[in-house]
Amino acid sequence: MDQIKLLKGEKRYFMQREVIVERVWEIFHLVKVKEQGSGKSYYVDICALTIEPDLINSISLRLLSKKIND
């Protein structure tokens, strides 16, 4: 498996959102990113970041939990 090297200030995509890398913890495979448009910051797994947007449709796990609890 190739090691991913990210640097502070790099632009990447988290799913379909363009984000900027704020901080990297390689030992934990964790990255703090900031969204371009809204300015929200959050932590994601390094492997969740891509060079191009991920346009694959997905479903929220919250929808599944509501159906199970009904």
pLDDT at 5: 77
What is the model's pLDDT at position 9?
A: 92
Domain count, the chain: 1
Residue numbers of the domain that contains 53: 11-69
pLDDT single digits (tens) 11-67:
999 988 999 999 999 999 999 999 988 889 999 999 999 999 988 877 777 777 765
Residue 6 in any domain: the answer is no
**pLDDT at residue 34, rounded to an integer:** 96
Residues 12-16: contacts with CB within 8 Å, 24+ apart? 12/49, 12/50, 12/51, 13/49, 13/50, 13/51, 13/52, 13/53, 13/54, 14/44, 14/48, 14/49, 14/50, 15/48, 15/53, 15/54, 15/58, 16/53, 16/54, 16/55
pTM, to two decimals: 0.71
pLDDT value at residue 65: 75
**4, part of any domain:** no
Specify the pLDDT at position 70: 52
The answer to whether residue 1 is domain-embedded is no
